[in-house]
Amino acid sequence: MRLMEIMGIYVKHGLLHEDIMFDYWIPTITTAWDVVQTLGVIETNRRRVDPQLWVNFEWLIRRYKAWQAAHPASEPIMPTAHVKP
């Protein structure tokens, strides 16, 4: 979960482009989020440790949902590079 928190920070602050993040990492991100939500890990940690715990991970999931709505599956994520022969 720390990795997901760090990735959320990187995307939020523009250190990692969201197109790259969501194109490659999204199955891992969404699976991890679903598991920790189902098990109640996020809420338990927020209650017991810090209410702000995992906010960047949660932000990343919300940002992905917005990104997904703007990028239909059939649409290329980024334009292909034109390489001269």
pLDDT one-digit tens code per residue, 2-36: 899 999 999 999 999 999 898 888 889 999 999 99
Average pLDDT over residues 65-78: 74
Neighbour-count burial of 46, counting CB atoms closer than 10 A to its CB (0-12 exposed, 13-18 middle, 19+ buried): middle
Asked if residue 77 belongs to a domain, the reply is no
Asked if residue 40 belongs to a domain, the reply is yes
> What's the pLDDT at 47?
94
Asked if residue 16 belongs to a domain, the reply is yes
Asked if residue 7 belongs to a domain, the reply is yes
Domain count, the chain: 1
Asked if residue 79 belongs to a domain, the reply is no
Neighbour-count burial of 29, counting CB atoms closer than 10 A to its CB (0-12 exposed, 13-18 middle, 19+ buried): buried
Neighbour-count burial of 34, counting CB atoms closer than 10 A to its CB (0-12 exposed, 13-18 middle, 19+ buried): exposed
> What's the pLDDT at 63?
95
Asked if residue 53 belongs to a domain, the reply is yes
- At 78, the pLDDT band (50, 70, 90 cuts) reads low
Asked if residue 83 belongs to a domain, the reply is no
Average pLDDT, the chain: 86
- Domain hosting 24: range is 2-70
